[in-house]
Chains A and B, each alone.
Chain A
Amino acid sequence: KAGVTQTPRYLIKTRGQQVTLSCSPISGHRSVSWYQQTPGQGLQFLFEYFSETQRNKGNFPGRFSGRQFSNSRSEMNVSTLELGDSALYLCASSETTAVYGYTFGSGTRLTVV
């Protein structure tokens, strides 16, 4: 079966702009989580959606937001981009809960200049 698909793979944006990243989970997976990976910081949890509802949110400013659609596809949005937002953004899906492990997408590499 198809894996987790993230688009686009690479993105370059200018400070102050906004960006939208997309994630299509594995078919049948209803939970989608987003993580930010920066050098030396590991994976920082952004938020998790299940059946179109945000179930959990990490410690990120309100500029970071997300949503999930009825087909479980998810988008995350970052407004007023800052240089520090440059990172690899990873989407992960699971059937119901994270305890069974995630399947990650390949990520979107965002560079803010």
Chain B
Amino acid sequence: DQQVKQNSPSLSVQEGRISILNCDYTNSMFDYFLWYKKYPAEGPTFLISISSIKDKNEDGRFTVFLNKSAKHLSLHIVPSQPGDSAVYFCAAWAGSEKLVFGKGTKLTVNP
């Protein structure tokens, strides 16, 4: 079963607008969440994370929101830039020695 779901395979936004990437999870034991960005032919790179004791974490243009009751998190990118075009993976940690990843959302930011 898929414990971390990114239901939108792709998203297209205009430069300067907001990008919102969504992620849902089913395992209530997850208590730490991370977002990774991946460019073609490169490994994923860490972007931002949030602990389950928080509902928001900001880092520059990137903000992650966590709604524990809905088991939902989202990544907001404001303003979006063409260089943000990449595949974004949501990942969750439940105290084991692995991260559980979603299938990814491909973001395209159009100039």
Does the CB pair A97–B42 fall under 8 Å? no
Does the CB pair A98–B93 fall under 8 Å? yes
B60 to chain A, nearest CB (A): 17
Question: How many residues of chain A have a CB within 8 Å of chain B?
Answer: 27
CB contact between A99 and one of B32, B44, B100 (< 8 Å): that residue: B32
A56 CA / B97 CA spacing, docked (Å): 6
Does the CB pair A56–B96 fall under 8 Å? yes
B25 sits at the interface (CB 8 A): no
A103 CA / B43 CA spacing, docked (Å): 8
Q: Give the interface SS of chain B, mostly helix, strand, loop or mixed.
A: loop
A4 CA / B36 CA spacing, docked (Å): 16
A101 CA / B32 CA spacing, docked (Å): 10
Closest to A46 in B: B98
Closest to A38 in B: B103
Closest to B31 in A: A99
From residue 2 to 54 of chain A, which have CB atoms closer than 8 A to chain B? Answer: 4, 31, 33, 35, 40-45, 48, 50
A42-B89, A98-B93, A99-B32 given; A104·B99 CB < 8 A: no
A102-B46, A104-B45, A106-B41 given; A55·B101 CB < 8 A: no
Does the CB pair A40–B41 fall under 8 Å? no
Q: Give me the interface of B with A, judged by CB distance under 8 Å.
A: 6, 9, 32, 34, 36, 41-46, 49, 89, 93, 95-104
